[in-house]
Chains A and B, each alone.
Chain A
Amino acid sequence: MSFTPHTPEDIALMLNSIGIDSVEQLFDEIPSAIRIEGLPDLADGINEMAMGREIKKISAGNKNLLNFIGAGAYQHHIPSAVWQLAGRGELLTAYTPYQAEASQGSLQIIFEFQTMIASLCGMDVANASMYDGASALAESILMAVRANKKTTSKKIVIADSIHPCYLNVMNSITRYQGIEIQCVETDRYNDVNTLKSAAHESFAAVVLPQPNFLGQLTRVDAITDWAHQHHALVIGLVNPVTLGLLKEPGSWGARGADIVCGEGQPLGVPLAGGGPYFGFMACKKQFIRQMPGRIVGKTTDTNGKTGYCLTLQAREQHIRRSKATSNICTNQGLLMTVATIYMSLLGPQGLKNVAIKSHQNTARLIELLNTVKQVHCVYADNFCHEMVIQVPSSAKSVLKKMADRGVAGGYDLATLGQAWADKLLVCSTEVHNENDLQQFITVLKTAIEDV
């Protein structure tokens, strides 16, 4: 079933033309000591109908729950047009747009994406996307260290209220380049005073999550100004949907953030078990040459007609090799296309409404939670669309009981340490209606009684 068109006659004609008798002769330069004959420990192939049956059986092992988990991946309504358009073969099966004249569709979409993302972030420019949010942050950190000419420090200051997996990924990717990450314990506002006390020496950049991992809103203005006074760059780590409502990083403090990145998944990408998603990255114009990843620019053809092409390729690995800004040699083209279509369909007001509705649903959930005995809203204000609740037993056992009743009740904060083992991170978005919220409450009550 290898989707090959060759008839026996084709093969005979081709062998004859090459001047050999059998296809095996084509492999006669491989030393015989290491040759194998096929892949006997893999089963033979099956046709599409049999595969359809097989995959139905396998996918039955997946149970879809009414979802209240966020923690870095957010469920939003995805307009039907988004994936029907992105799924067109001309977009789905196209290669990276190196041959610009044959890729004007993909290239113009990237240009439109860059415009939308830069504007959403309040930045001058954006790239064509990164692998995901965490890797985009790791690349932003490496970029900030290269871009900050006012200090030789390779230290990055980060509030501990960042997603724990982002910290892990950041360490994995940046550790070999002498980057020192200082994780600072802060209060829920990431108040500037908590950071001040920790950062004594000079540092290259500070990472500001907005909202932070616990769904809380950072006091971005004061920290941005403080970091700039210390000649450090500010990296904003943001959720793009909430930027319909929240102040864009370019307007944080007096001078605005310098680099902005985040997880793009909320913009039309399904939860899909964790991927593929995409990261985004935007910055002030003066840092563009330090930015990794694909960037598309507008130009003209030999007739003076407008067209688009990849640009600033001198930063990239296929030209600069070991001196490149990163080894990255792709973006997440399809997901970025999805986000561009999503943002077009939502528009400025639609995106703002999604953010507001998600916030209002979360507020309504808090209201309803106040009626549940033994449950305490740890942060009942200063939230965007995610909040922390405390339950009377371990979060793990409550979540298990809730899942048995068809509700994914939240993220188990035990990953942050024992003190958090009775706390859940709960998210509501515009996809929930009043019935869904009531169901969450009912199931939570039963789960607590059961445990």
Chain B
Amino acid sequence: MLIFEKSVQGRAAQAQSPHLQKDAVRIDSSLLRQTKPCLPEVSELETVRHFTNLSRKNFSIDTNFYPLGSCTMKYNPRAAHQFASDEKFLNQHPYIDDDYKQGTLQCLYELQHTIKSVTGMTAVSLTPMAGAQGEFAGVAMIRAYHDERGDKQREEIIVPDAAHGTNPATAFMCGYKVREVATLSDSGDVDLTALKAVLSEKTAGIMLTNPSTLGVFERKIKEIADLTHEAGGLLYYDGANLNAIMGKVRPGDMGFDVMHLNLHKTFATPHGGGGPGAGPVAANSKLAKYLPVPVVQKTATGRYILVDETHYPHSIGKLSTFFGNTGVLIRAYIYAKMLGGNGLTQASTLATLNANYLMTALHKAGFTLAYPQRRASHEFIITLEPEHKIYGITALDVAKCLLDRGIHAPTMYFPLLVAECLLIEPTETESKQQLDEFVDAMIAIRQMMIENAEQLKQAPQKLPVTRLDEVKAAKTLDLVWSE
């Protein structure tokens, strides 16, 4: 039931309305509202009950295992949330003088340092509010670099066919044409011959994820970097999979010029049902001067200050009204500080161990790996193409069946290269027992395929709704409630 259907005219959460002695206003009547907006008229208890009950219709990390490839759904430490929710951080207008927000600025400054250490880059801007905005910043910086050199014929960005959809969409937003480059189907590495064929004086840059979205480390990364640089292009690193490599290898050392990080993945800030995230952008010395502003600096006297275009005249500009998602950045700072250099390294080690253990176990259980001869990074792909052919079931059916067993579905049908695929990322915060339970669930689902494939196609049956008619939703476009 929608909250509007619980509404009764004249009812209100009375404790929440400010007390008015009179309702007179000094505003021209032609500018005043004549209609009553469709907000519910409900009591405070009704509101609390409504949203509490809605929350119970959700999967979440706090309640379920999320082996969701490319999303790094690790535990979100309560301490980070609790400490960042202190009044000292919350009750601060963004436009108060820097002198009164030294605490916040110190957290941000130290986070910039941590990011530099982890990535091997020389400068960081924390302002992008999501991974996609960090990507935008990075590609815009590549553009600013070429533009400043008068290198205007560079109008293409190269993107592997396995890339996240945000990569080509970002390239377009920055005014670039997208050239796709193939991935080798046996190894998952980029096809160097194909790459050489698309590199030219028109190449502005290449966008790569490493480990790639195929769950394998791109072994020829140095060759790719050299070839791209020789052609006059720059390398952009999509930090979606950074959780695989902290303390093992750094994008800066691989030859990347600019990158973004997803703090809501690698640095464990809560996803919030789809945001807020944070997508800081880091660059090497070649591109540092183009970073979006503001950036936090420390003066000789130890004072922290926010600097803007006056210090960064080549900046691509501002991407948010104020600083970006400050509260998310503070949570990430706390997480990184609690883990430390050793803990971050251990996180990547055990994320990789979990992925390889799970991959091996599923393989032993008879599932087909997309890249059986490769190590898994922090994630891996299985293909259900054989099961699809024999039993007629799809990756979607298996995903929905997992939901019935209290396990969030892995990423499905991505990357687009592998048919009927599941991209599986367990993260380091899951126990061996949880991974074993997942394998057991997959074995049980396989048994269902053999015994009762039709029943499998009816999943889920134990959730608040069964499979939803998405075609109907797009056709009827019922997007708002009305009486």
Contacts and interface: CB of A to CB of B under 8 A. Distances in A.
Interface string A306-336: 0111011110111111111011111111110
A29 B26 contact: no
Interface size class of A (residues with CB under 8 A): 35 or more
B270 interface: yes
A359 B44 contact: no
Contacts of B74: 3
B422 to A, nearest CB: 13
Interface string B4-38: 10000001110111111011111110111111111
A118 interface: yes
Interface stretch (A125-133, A147-155, A192-200, A441-449): A125-133
B58 A106 contact: yes
Contact of A321 (B129, B169, B352): B169
Contact of B469 (A1, A96, A301): A301
B464 interface: yes
A318 B77 CA distance: 29
Interface string A101-116: 1111110110110111
A111 B2 contact: yes
Interface size class of B (residues with CB under 8 A): 35 or more
A332 to B, nearest CB: 4
Interface stretch (B61-69, B226-234, B385-393, B444-452): B61-69
B78 to A, nearest CB: 9
28 contacts: A3-B77, A23-B350, A28-B375, A29-B216, A34-B221, A39-B342, A42-B336, A42-B344, A59-B103, A73-B322, A90-B55, A90-B62, A95-B68, A95-B273, A109-B54, A115-B481, A132-B322, A165-B321, A173-B173, A244-B33, A246-B32, A251-B33, A272-B89, A297-B477, A331-B274, A331-B275, A347-B12, A399-B97
A182 to B, nearest CB: 18
Given A4-B350, A10-B432, A29-B375, A330 B247 contact: no
Interface string B37-49: 1111110100110
Given A52-B79, A58-B103, A101-B468, 10 more contacts: A14-B353, A27-B249, A69-B95, A73-B322, A102-B403, A104-B58, A119-B37, A274-B323, A274-B326, A309-B470
Contact of B16 (A46, A125, A244, A350): A350
A276 interface: yes
Contacts of B272: 91-94, 332-335, 337
B190 interface: no
Interface in A358-393: 359-360, 363, 381-384
B39 A119 contact: yes
A319 B165 contact: yes
A128 to B, nearest CB: 7
A408 interface: yes
Contacts of B197: none
Contacts of B400: 101
A258 interface: no
A417 interface: no
B334 interface: yes
Interface in B304-329: 316-328
B249 A35 contact: yes
A334 B66 contact: no
A347 B41 contact: yes
B289 interface: no
Contact of A27 (B97, B248, B478): B248
